[in-house]
């Protein structure tokens, strides 16, 4: 395969990568996204599930939503408003409660989510940008003011002038360590927090007051009525779909057990907690080895950029975590590159 060329290679097509590529593209800079998975979205990805009528429907497997509370940068606010206006993002108004709350302890909360799935937002933001999927960048090498990006078989994937890495921390540091003359001075390690997720479907509606439950349970971190989110529907014969997220502590104690085994335990915990007698269908399950990150030492900068090497890094772990952290980090890096 002939290597691709571009001005900037953005490694990873999650939230930070798609936003970074979108900003560069808008500034007239040719970029190439390189993603190891089949689709884009990263930890906001969805899983396609076959329906009885041989169509498919999608379920959010990672972040189900995000809150705008930490979106303080005026440019980011402006961007988000434009995505809402264009229908890339929708407001989700939900009834929220706690696992250990009383029946009447229900609050109306709003947040944002991609429509009709979290990753469709990424597709709309960066779907028009040249992308190489199912390609994991293993090493990056610099010579004659150019970067060469290689996969695991040491096949040359791309040649570019600049590289932006948006992988989660362990993978990002592995890649940065392949560069001889680069030193990243921030103190690592950053602790990764694992999480199991599963989606279960019921043929009759459950008598539960809230659309989302959080905190107050040892096994379940969160339970979300997926079909209460905008533009999601329930495929016949299902009437309700719930997505269950484990706590990080419980996931850690499972020692990387198979996600299907974990899904049985999550489902039992959910049914026991809410006294659900109806047997659900398990639709899908997933193990996120690095769902979130606990920064051990607070990074001073919300991105990494070496202007001599033209090598940078952005992502949630550099900017207080979460979807907004990933967006803030990508925006800050972009502004630095454009300011040079
Ligand atoms: C179960 C779960 C629930 C969550 N809930 C919330 C929530 O409610 N609200 C919220 O704000 N956030 C939530 N998050 C966190 C949120 O999803 C992340 O903070 C955000 O998506 C991170 O975006 P990112 O671009 O920094 O990283 P990622 O989304 O991880 O993107 C990195 C991308 O790089 C790719 N990649 C890595 N290495 C390579 C390589 N060598 N070559 C090519 N590609 C590579 C990966 O495949 C991935 O697509 C949740 C996450 C999970 C897993």
Is the shortest distance between the CB of 44 and ligand 1 below 6 Å? yes
What is the value of pTM for the model shown? 0.96
pLDDT in tens, 119-149: 999 999 999 999 999 999 999 999 999 999 9
Is the shortest distance between the CB of 197 and ligand 1 below 6 Å? yes
% of the chain beyond a pLDDT of 90: 81
User: What band does 71 get if pLDDT is binned at 50, 70 and 90?
Assistant: confident
* Among protein residues, the one whose CA lies closest to atom 2 of ligand 1: 62
Mean pLDDT to the nearest integer, 142-162 = 97
Is the shortest distance between the CB of 137 and ligand 1 below 6 Å? yes
Ligand 1 geometric centre to CA of 2 (Å): 29
* Among protein residues, the one whose CA lies closest to atom 23 of ligand 1: 15
Which residue in the block uniquely carries the two structure tokens 């639709």? 283
pLDDT in tens, 281-314: 999 999 999 999 876 556 568 999 999 999 999 9
- Give the number of other Cβ atoms within 10 Å of residue 123's Cβ: 17
Return the minimum-mean-pLDDT range out of 61-65, 174-178, 280-284. Answer: 174-178
pLDDT at 102: 72
What separation in angstroms does the CA of 68 have from each of 74, 132, 325?
12, 31, 11
Distance CA 105, CA 103 (A): 6
Ligand 1 geometric centre to CA of 326 (Å): 8
Is the shortest distance between the CB of 322 and ligand 1 below 6 Å? yes
Ligand 1 geometric centre to CA of 44 (Å): 6
pLDDT at 23: 98
């Amino acid at each position: 395969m002939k290597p691709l060329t571009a001005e900037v290679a953005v490694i990873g097509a999650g939230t930070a990568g798609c936003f970074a590529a979108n900003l560069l593209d808008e500034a007239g800079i040719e970029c190439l996204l390189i993603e190891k998975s089949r689709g884009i979205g990263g930890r906001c990805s969805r899983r396609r599930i076959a329906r009885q009528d041989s169509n498919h429907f999608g379920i959010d497997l990672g972040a189900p939503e995000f809150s705008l509370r930490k979106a303080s940068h005026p440019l980011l606010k402006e961007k988000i408003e434009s995505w809402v206006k264009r229908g890339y993002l929708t407001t989700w108004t939900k009834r929220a409660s706690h696992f250990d709350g009383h029946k009447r302890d229900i609050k109306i909360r709003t947040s944002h989510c991609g429509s009709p799935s979290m990753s469709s937002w990424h597709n709309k933001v960066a779907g028009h940008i040249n992308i190489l999927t199912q390609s994991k960048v293993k090493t990056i090498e610099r010579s004659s003011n150019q970067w060469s990006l290689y996969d695991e078989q040491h096949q040359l994937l791309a040649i570019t002038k600049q590289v932006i890495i948006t992988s989660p921390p362990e993978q990002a540091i592995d890649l940065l360590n392949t560069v001889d003359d680069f030193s990243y001075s921030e103190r690592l390690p950053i602790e990764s927090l694992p999480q199991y997720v599963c989606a279960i479907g019921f043929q009759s509606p459950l008598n539960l007051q809230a659309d989302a439950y959080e905190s107050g349970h040892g096994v379940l971190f969160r339970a979300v009525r997926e079909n209460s989110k905008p533009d999601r529907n329930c495929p016949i014969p299902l009437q309700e779909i719930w997505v269950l997220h484990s706590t990080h502590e419980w996931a850690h104690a499972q020692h990387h057990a198979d996600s299907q085994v974990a899904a049985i335990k999550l489902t039992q915990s959910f049914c026991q907690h809410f006294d659900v007698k109806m047997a659900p269908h398990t639709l899908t399950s997933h193990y996120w080895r690095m769902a979130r990150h606990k920064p051990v030492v607070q990074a001073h900068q919300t991105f990494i950029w070496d202007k001599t090497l033209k090598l940078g890094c952005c992502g949630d772990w550099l900017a207080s975590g979460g979807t907004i952290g990933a967006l803030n980090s990508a925006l800050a890096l972009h502004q630095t590159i454009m300011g040079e």
